[in-house]
Amino acid sequence: MSIMSFIEDSAKSDGLEDESDLQAIREAKSEPLYVQEEAENYIFMNPVKRERLDRGWTQEELARRLGVKQATVAKWERQGAVYRKRTREKLAKVFAVDEEVFL
């Protein structure tokens, strides 16, 4: 049984008998889950910036939480930035992630 047949059979058994429901399922299957360029930009984004944006924080907010200046956060977010051990520890603590994220 194909996945589409399974979905259609499941939809019918769940009370989704309307053809428009099945059409919506077919259309959703053909839509990409993400835009490749956006996904690649996210994957290769600077880890400090990625963690900050995931939480909806501004550079100023992160700076306040870490007790540093906004300019310091901006420096940490540059592509190719390298972090000292103590900086990695502080970042890991404020983001509640493993320190290795910043290696």
The per-residue pLDDT for 17 is 62
Domain 45-102 has CATH 3.40.50.300: no
- Delimiting residues of CATH 1.10.260.40 domain(s) in the chain: 45-102
Element (H, E) at 90: helix 85-95
Residue 101 pLDDT exceeds 80: yes
Give the count of alpha carbons within 13 A of 21, CB side only.
12
Amino acid identity, position 66: L
What residue type is 5 in one-letter code?
S
Quickly list DSSP for 1-65: --HHHHHHHHHHHTT--SHHHHHHHHHHHHS-SS-HHHHHHHHTS-HHHHHHHHTT--HHHHHHH
Task: Specify the pLDDT at position 2.
Answer: 62
Residue range 29-72, pLDDT digits in tens: 777 777 788 777 777 889 999 999 999 999 999 999 999 999 99
How many Cα atoms occupy the beta-carbon half-sphere of 9 within 13 Å?
Answer: 6
